[in-house]
Structure 1
Amino acid sequence: MQTTAPSPPDLPDLKVAVFSCDLYCDMWPLFFHFLFKHWPDVPTPVYLLTNHLSYDDPRVITVKVGEDTSWTDGIARGLAQVPSEYVFCFLDDFMLTKPMPVQRLADVYHPLKNQDGNWVCLRPKAPAPENDPPALIAPITDAAQSAGFHAGIWRTTYLQKLCAEVQLNIWHTEGHIRKLIRGGRAEKLFYMTENAAGLVSYIEVVKRFWQKDGIDYVRANNIRPDLWRRPYPPQGDNVFARFIRSILKRYVRLRSSLETKRLLKENNGVVSSAVRFIKAEN
């Protein structure tokens, strides 16, 4: 007797938006490989915000924002082209490591939407409030709490407006949001309580360069990272390691710039979705 697979939980008015730039186009095949592996029923299309290049996958719509003027300016211009009330935000160098528990995600998303919320952090922040012990989400009231971009659901128009009002990089934007929270000027921001712990599991694989945890993760999944494009320098905090990394910063920017120009000239700016797998030894 055949059984029908259960339908994925309904996530109305929610799409995934990946915040990126052409400098990190070498991360796209890896990011989407793990996204579609661990979240096969992800709401599509997925929106990739970047500069001039595009990604070759029918499940992905590339939103080109043009030249970098600031991180916030690019995000504001990109979100204006995402036709969704809410966006699940990812950064391109944070790879999913476990299957997305979609039912639990829906259980967090629906109260956010029902309360007309503007953001919820998808990492546990604190216990549930005393007046609502079983709550999965709760309003941010503690000035020490903050909003970030590693994994969270934002109201698209709210985040677009917030980014359009400033010219900041991503780290200063998070600091700007902290100031808004402390000043009581951030509306309807929520945290995910410990009742919903462990919703999203991911790993930061690069910080400009490859990190050891990232190298270990992709190799454990039989994927060969391109270390010519983005090296794996010494990881310590000694003088030698810092010196090597300072030199390689310029190298990475140069290689990325040359690759972007090559793709625009030879391949209409399209980045292949092919992933380089490690060949098995005979």
Structure 2
Amino acid sequence: MLNNDITIFVNSCDSFEDCWDPFFKLLSKNWVYDSMPNIILNTEFKSYHGYNLPIVSTKVNEGIDYRMNWSQCFLKGLDFIKTDYFIYLQEDYFINNKIDVKLINDLVEVIKSNSLIDYIGLTDNGSSGPFNETSDTRLWNIPNQSFYKISCQAAIWRKTCLQSLILEDENPWMFEIFGSIRAGRKNSLFLTVNRLKFSLKENPIIGYIHTGIIKGKWNIEIQEVFKSNQISLDYSKRGFYEKKKYSKINLALKLISKPRYFFICIWHWIFKNNRLLSSKSGFVQLK
């Protein structure tokens, strides 16, 4: 049974506490199955319980005399997972459709049965390809030259693999970029769902607006999701995200003032614009 083989890991921090109740209300509503797997909510000091869900709050910073960064909290939170595999989510992935639990269960069996598979992305966000077809028509392989081999979008992970990819001084953005390079050095398979069969807009396995919060403010599209699910909250505390007219200029000035991030962006741009030149098509046979 799924609930014995996998955990749901919700990565969060205390400053996103206002997301927890709507997130878990929607998870509870849309997880249509006879039982819910254990849920790990990764927090710093606070805890949450609701909707009769089996939630364990990690409170990873409790008893530590310094404020841990994102990757340190992430690593420590993963230690609370007791299963070999888990579903990765974040607190602002507000689920707006019935989750295809049967298919997720099938994909867990796929990763369990093949020791080479470490990751299966569950949405069409994250890697943007190029991809290779596999012998399982539901799944595509993410080759090394793909843009974002791994991401922080909804996915099934082998726990030991993810633990090996996280470095303690990286933020989420750096993790996705440099973690993808580290993933490419592994002799394992990183897969994603077939984008022609499954997407967030059409036939999603687990559907959510990408994402509910942008740069600390509400995505304006989330209002309709909450309204249709009788969720009320005070949007004024965060406000709504508005794309700044000169955001690219401001970003460039910010990056120049921080040389480390500037060179990361230059590398990122070069990789993005040259990845297709080195792409190779290939069919991947899964066991």
- The TM-score, its normalising length taken from structure 1, stands at 0.72
Equivalent positions of 1:236-255 (< 5 A) are: 236-238=243-245
8 Å Cα contact 2:40-2:80 kept in structure 1: no
Aligned match for 1:51, one of 44, 50, 54: 44
* Equivalent residues of 1:77, 1:160 under 8 A apart: no
Asked if 1:153 is matched to 2:156, the reply is yes
Q: State the secondary structure of the residue aligned to 1:118.
A: strand
The one-letter code sitting in structure 2 at the alignment partner of 1:61 is: V
Q: 1:85 to 1:43 in 2, by over 3 A?
A: farther
Structure 2: state its 5+ residue gaps.
199-203, 251-287
After superposition, residues 259-274 of structure 1 pair within 5 angstroms as: none
Query: How big is the alpha-carbon RMSD for the aligned residues of Structure 1 and Structure 2?
Result: 2.8
Aligned to 2:123: 123
Between the aligned partners of 2:236 and 2:160, the Cα distance in structure 1 is: 39
Q: 1:94 to 1:186 in 2, by over 3 A?
A: farther
1:24 aligns with 2:26: no
Secondary structure of the corresponding residue to residue 109 of structure 1: helix
1:10/1:45 Cα in 2 relative to 1: closer, same or farther (>3 Å)?
A: closer
In structure 1, C-alpha distance between the alignment counterparts of 2:14 and 2:187, rounded to whole Å: 31
> Which moves more between the two structures, 216-225 or 152-161?
216-225
1:102-113 matches, within 5 Å, as: 102-113=101-112
**Who is 1:168 aligned against?**
170
Equivalent residues in 2 for 1:122-271 (5 A)?
122-124=122-124, 129=132, 132=135, 134-145=136-147, 146-163=149-166, 165-182=167-184, 184-185=185-186, 187-194=188-195, 196-197=197-198, 198-203=204-209, 204-207=211-214, 208-232=216-240, 235-238=242-245
What's the counterpart of residue 61 of structure 1? 56
Gaps of 5+ in 1: 1-8, 244-282
Q: What CA deviation, in whole Å up to 9, does each residue of 1:101-147 have, x standing for no partner?
A: 11111222211221122211112467985562x43234432411421
- Residues 115 and 50 of structure 1, relative CA distance in 2, 3 Å threshold: same
Give the conservation status (yes or no) of the 8 Å contact 2:13–2:42. Answer: yes
8 A Cα contact 1:177 1:186, kept in partner = no
In structure 2, how many angstroms separate the alpha carbons of the residues matched to 1:82 and 1:159?
Answer: 12
Corresponding residue of 1:78: 77
| Residues 4, 37 of structure 2: 8 Å contact kept | no
% identical equivalent positions: 21
Shift of 1:155: 1.2
1:38 corresponds, among 8, 30, 42, to 30
Cα drift, residue 94 of structure 1: 1.0
Whether contact under 8 Å (1:11, 1:106) holds in the other structure is no
Other-structure match for 1:88: 87
1:221 shift after superposition: 2.4
Deviations 1:253-273 (A, max 9, x none): xxxxxxxxxxxxxxxxxxxxx
Deviations 1:1-60 (A, max 9, x none): xxxxxxxx6454211000000000010001001000001436332110010000023521
Residue of structure 2 equivalent to 1:259: none
What is the rounded CA distance, in whole Å, between the counterparts of 1:92 and 1:151 in structure 2? 11
Question: Would the alpha carbon gap of residues 127 and 216 (structure 1) be closer, same or farther in structure 2, given more than 3 Å must change?
Answer: same
Amino acid at match of 1:220: S
User: Counterparts of 2:243 and 2:73 in 1: how far apart (Å)?
Assistant: 33
Q: Determine which structure has the larger strand proportion and give its number.
A: 1
CA 1:45–1:131: 2 relative to 1, 3 Å: closer
Asked whether the 8 Å contact 1:136–1:195 carries over to 2, the reply is no
Structure 1: distance between partners of 2:192 and 2:130: 10
Matches within 5 A, 1:2-21: 10=2, 12-21=4-13
The ranges of structure 1 where at least 4 consecutive aligned residues each deviate by more than 4 angstroms after the TM superposition are 124-131
